[in-house]
């Protein structure tokens, strides 16, 4: 039988819609299994500073529909040092915490893996990031809501693009991964997408636009992931405009609206399932793993694997963009 009596939970890295739903699930699953649950404020930074408080059922009532995170989030340079991690360990022990649930991305899990190797407190991770780039899970918390936010924004931009015969380059988040741009482009009927995983060629885009111009196509939507090697939306739009002065080109950067908003039903359900699974994994003496969802089944993935690998883009989806824009 496990000796775990008290667990901690925290959110770290970029916030994602559905994190509150995951916190709620952890707290209530913990209580169901007769555990005490403590919230760690402001991620690893708050862990070092002892910003830790007990969470009861009432504390997570009415939060499932809210974006952001009631536990706040912060990045911690101090936690990257052994001295910082030792301070965090001392705070966890001082509060009687036996195990921890970490909600975040690969940076969060990297810190958890290192900490667990050095000290005797097990960590289990829940994937919370809008980028959907974590290996070992089909979906991450926040991704579906982000996609819907992008779709709604681009739909509105297309209205004005059509009204004024304009070409819009729309930049979405995705410094290292193109899932938002690619699937957002498919959902919105974008004429082209630029993503970090595939070498971009503005010449190919210009050729496509020239063909569309001949077919009297007067407006276009191009989605650009912020991490594309050809540059962001502003840089790519500038290159295209220089050679295609007939087009009225505009740029829109969606920015942090992609992180916010009420989580979708899919994100709420995913967060709830993984929150419960994380608590039960700790009670099953699991440690240094991420709980994920593959083929609609909960899976356990070692931190070492989810940190080392990344979800790969489905190249068939890239091909669909070309097929649908003949």
Whole-number pLDDT of residue 309? 87
Active-site residue (options: 15, 131, 144, 228): 131
Whole-number pLDDT of residue 2? 54
Q: Is there a single domain that holds both residue 128 and residue 270?
A: yes
Q: Is there a single domain that holds both residue 100 and residue 133?
A: yes
Q: Which residue has the higher pLDDT, 177 or 27?
A: 27
Q: Is there a single domain that holds both residue 71 and residue 167?
A: no
Q: Residue 214 pLDDT more than 80?
A: no
Model pLDDT for residues 64-89, shown as the tens digit of each residue: 999 999 999 988 999 999 999 999 99
The count of structural domains within the chain is: 2
Residue 1, in any domain of the structure: no
Q: The domain spanning residue 45 has which CATH number?
A: 3.40.50.450
Model pLDDT for residues 161-188, shown as the tens digit of each residue: 989 888 899 999 998 889 999 999 999 9
User: Among this protein's residues, is 138 annotated catalytic?
Assistant: no
Q: Is there a single domain that holds both residue 236 and residue 303?
A: no
Q: Is there a single domain that holds both residue 220 and residue 295?
A: no
pLDDT mean over 293-305: 97
**Model's pTM, two decimal places?**
0.93
Residue 325, in any domain of the structure: no
Q: Is there a single domain that holds both residue 229 and residue 291?
A: no
Q: Is there a single domain that holds both residue 138 and residue 269?
A: yes
Place of tokens 């299994």: 33
Whole-number pLDDT of residue 208? 65
Give which of 112, 56, 48, 97 is closest to 74, Cα–Cα: 48
Give which of 55, 49, 30, 40 is closest to 108, Cα–Cα: 40
Under 8 Å between Cβ of 126 and 102: yes
Q: Which residue has the higher pLDDT, 244 or 222?
A: 222
Q: Is there a single domain that holds both residue 106 and residue 151?
A: no
Model pLDDT for residues 145-158, shown as the tens digit of each residue: 999 999 999 999 99
Which pLDDT band holds residue 227 (cuts at 50, 70, 90)? confident
In terms of DSSP H, where are the helices of 33-94?
A: 43-49, 82-94
Q: What is the β-pairing status of strands 289-294 and 297-302?
A: antiparallel
Whole-number pLDDT of residue 216? 55
Domain residues for 76? 6-142+263-308
- From residue 52, alpha-carbon distances to 3, 18, 97, 127, 188 in Å are 21, 21, 10, 22, 43
Residue 323, in any domain of the structure: no
Which pLDDT band holds residue 199 (cuts at 50, 70, 90)? confident
Whole-number pLDDT of residue 61? 97
Show which of 227, 259, 291 is a domain's final residue.
Answer: 259
Q: Which residue has the higher pLDDT, 117 or 230?
A: 117
Model pLDDT for residues 243-274, shown as the tens digit of each residue: 777 788 999 999 999 999 999 999 999 999 99
Residue 90, in any domain of the structure: yes
Which pLDDT band holds residue 201 (cuts at 50, 70, 90)? low
Q: Residue 213 pLDDT more than 90?
A: no
pLDDT mean over 193-207: 76
Whole-number pLDDT of residue 1? 45
Helix (H) or strand (E) holding 32: helix 19-32
């Amino acid at each position: 039988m496990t000796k775990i009596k008290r667990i901690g939970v925290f959110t770290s890295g970029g916030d994602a819609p559905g994190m509150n739903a995951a916190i709620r699930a952890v707290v209530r699953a913990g209580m169901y299994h007769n555990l005490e649950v403590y919230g760690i404020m402001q991620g690893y930074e708050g862990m070092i500073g002892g910003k830790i408080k007990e969470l009861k059922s009432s504390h997570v009532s009415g939060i499932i529909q809210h974006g952001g995170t009631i536990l706040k989030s912060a990045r911690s340079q101090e936690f990257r040092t052994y001295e910082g991690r030792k301070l965090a360990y001392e705070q966890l022990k001082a509060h009687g915490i036996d195990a921890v649930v970490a909600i975040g991305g690969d940076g969060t899990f990297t810190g958890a893996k290192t900490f667990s190797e050095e000290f005797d407190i097990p960590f289990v991770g829940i994937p919370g990031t809008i980028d959907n780039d974590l290996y070992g899970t089909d979906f991450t918390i926040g991704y579906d809501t982000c996609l819907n936010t992008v779709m709604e924004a681009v739909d509105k931009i297309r209205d004005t693009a059509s009204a004024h015969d304009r070409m819009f380059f729309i930049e979405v988040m995705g410094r290292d991964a193109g899932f938002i741009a690619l699937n957002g482009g498919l959902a919105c009927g974008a004429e082209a997408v630029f993503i970090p995983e595939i070498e971009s060629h503005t010449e190919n885009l210009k050729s496509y636009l020239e063909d569309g111009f001949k077919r009297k196509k007067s407006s276009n939507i191009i989605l650009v992931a912020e991490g594309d090697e050809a540059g962001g939306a502003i840089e790519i739009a500038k290159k295209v405009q220089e050679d295609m002065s007939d087009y009225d080109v505009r740029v829109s950067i969606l920015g942090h609206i992609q992180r916010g908003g009420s989580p979708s039903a899919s994100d709420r359900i995913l967060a709830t399932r993984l929150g419960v699974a994380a608590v039960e994994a700790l009670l099953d003496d699991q440690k240094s793993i991420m709980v994920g969802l593959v083929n609609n089944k909960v899976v356990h993935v070692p931190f070492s694997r989810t940190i080392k690998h990344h979800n790969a883009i489905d190249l068939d989806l890239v091909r669909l963009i070309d097929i649908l824009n003949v």
